[in-house]
Structure formats: C-alpha cells, structure tokens
Amino acid sequence: MLSIIGQIIIFYALYRLLGLLFSSSKSTPDNNRGGGYYGGDAETAFRHALLKVMAAAMKADGRVVRAELNVVKRVLVNQFGEEEAREALLELRDLLRANFDPRADAMRIGKMISYADRLRIADILCQIAEADGIITDSEVQTIVNLAYYMGLTSADTMRFAERLHVNGGGYGNNRNYGGQSSAGSSGSVAAAYKTLGISPDATNAEVKDAYRSLAKKYHPDRYATQSAEAQAEAEQKFKEVQAAYEAIKEARGV
C-alpha cells in the first residue's frame, strides 16, 4: 500500500492536472465570434454599453436614418460576428425607442478597454453623426459628452468636436466640452458663482473655500463603492465645480 505521503503526492498531482485541463477548456477561443474585447459576461456587458452609446449618438438629432444604422451594423459585425450582431441589432431597436442616460455606460467603456480602443469608439460615434451628411449641435454635444465620460483627454475630445464642426456641425465658438460652458461670457461666470453657491462679491478666499468644500463633497473617490450611476453623477458635479472655479479665477485674473 502507498504511504500517506505518497497518496498525498498523487492526489496533488491529479488536482493540478484537473486544474490545468479546466482552465484550458475555459480559455479556448470561440471561433464563431468576431474579434471582441472580452469573452463571456464581460463581452456581454461591453456590448450592451457600446450599443447604448451608439444609440445615444443615433438619436441625438431627433431622428434615426438608415445610413446611421449601416454604420452601426458594420461595427457590430466586425466586432462580434454575424450571429451576435443580429442579436445586438434587436437590442439596439429597443434602445432607440427607450429613454436612457448613457453616461454610466460611457464610463463603463472607459474602464473596460484601452485608450486606443476608446478613440476608435469615438471615431465610430463621429461616423454615425456624419452618416446622413447633416451634423447638428445636439449631435456634437452628445458625442463630446460621451468622449468625456469615456475618459478621453481634453485635447482628443476637442479634436473630435472640431472634426464634426468642420464636417457640417454649426457648433460655433460656444463649445461645451464635457458638459461645461467656456468661461468667456458674463453669463457663464454668473452661473459659475451659482454653482459654487456664492455671490459675485465673495472674496478670493471665500471662492477658494467654496470650491474646496464642494470638490471634497463630490470627489469621485468618495463614490468608488457606489453604483455606476451615482459615480457618473458625482463626477459630473465634480467637473462642474472645477469648471466654475476656473471660470471665476479667469474672470478675476487670479
């Protein structure tokens, strides 16, 4: 009979062998799928988030045309394959009829994929807006906001906004990147004081104190364990507070 130590060694070897076989079967690629970013549940979550941001871009001008749908269909087939693309198009149909806030989904995409892939998605959103040959301010604003929530830099966000403006968007000089108005007008400065909850005659020290208090209240780190929607709302508030503070400092020359 085998000694106790010998039995333990054999048991451990069998355990390792079964573990290797199990992990190998889980990691076997599915050749019927397209070149997705993820497999399994993560791929499903990514697909859902991608569909929502694309649906938001399609609906931004208040109408959906076949040219936009053709762009989305091409992306889905390339990304997920023919069969899954058909399922995704059914989900897209329902999203186009629904009201939803895509900010949390854009943030989820920002956490799931690389920066280069986020740039590609922003490019796809621009293709959707450009598909019908008419680019509206609402389309530009929607895509800029989605780019912002996906975590694109200000420079890249501006680059996409300028591309849409050149290709037909009458966006003018009143740009609103990431949901924030530029600080040039007196109206935006008045709104900035309101955002910080102070009056225009507040001292510089009072402005700074108000900013620090609100920035601490809405700092994203305080919402890290809360829902994606709560995180998105807090981050939006945080950015609004930052933009308001910068607008006031610029107006005051400090």
- Give yes or no: residues 62 and 133 share one domain: yes
Q: Tell me, yes or no, whether 55 lies in a domain.
A: yes
Give dist(CA 136, CA 138) in Å, integer.
5
- Give yes or no: residues 145 and 203 share one domain: no
Residue range of the domain that includes 110: 40-179
Sign, Cα dihedral of 113, 116, 117, 119? positive
| Amino acid 21: pLDDT | 44
Which of 161, 141, 135, 54 shows the shortest CA–CA distance to 100? Answer: 54
- Give yes or no: residues 53 and 153 share one domain: yes
| Amino acid 157: pLDDT | 85
- Give yes or no: residues 158 and 191 share one domain: no
pTM for the model stands at 0.55
- Give yes or no: residues 163 and 201 share one domain: no
| Cα-based angle 75, 139, 185 (whole degrees, multiple of 5) | 145
| Amino acid 26: pLDDT | 37
Instruction: Using the 3D structure, point to which of 153, 179, 205 is the last residue of a domain.
Output: 179
- Give yes or no: residues 153 and 247 share one domain: no
- Give yes or no: residues 172 and 214 share one domain: no
Q: What is the CA radius of gyration of the chain?
A: 24
Which of 150, 158, 160, 155 shows the shortest CA–CA distance to 123? Answer: 160
Q: Tell me, yes or no, whether 77 lies in a domain.
A: yes
| Amino acid 35: pLDDT | 38
CATH number at residue 194: 1.10.287.110
Q: How many domains does the chain have?
A: 2
| Amino acid 232: pLDDT | 85
- Give yes or no: residues 173 and 95 share one domain: yes
- Give yes or no: residues 175 and 207 share one domain: no
Instruction: Using the 3D structure, point to which of 124, 156, 179 is the last residue of a domain.
Output: 179
Instruction: Using the 3D structure, point to which of 179, 207, 225 is the last residue of a domain.
Output: 179
pLDDT in tens, the chain (254 residues): 445 545 545 555 554 544 444 443 333 333 333 334 444 588 889 999 999 999 999 999 999 999 999 999 999 999 889 999 999 999 999 999 999 999 999 999 999 999 999 999 999 999 999 988 888 888 988 998 999 999 998 888 888 888 887 765 443 333 343 444 333 444 467 788 888 999 888 899 999 999 999 988 988 888 888 888 888 888 888 888 888 888 888 888 87
Instruction: Say which amino acid occupies 81.
Output: G
| Amino acid 188: pLDDT | 64
Q: Tell me, yes or no, whether 128 lies in a domain.
A: yes
Determine the 3-state secondary structure of 7 from DSSP: helix
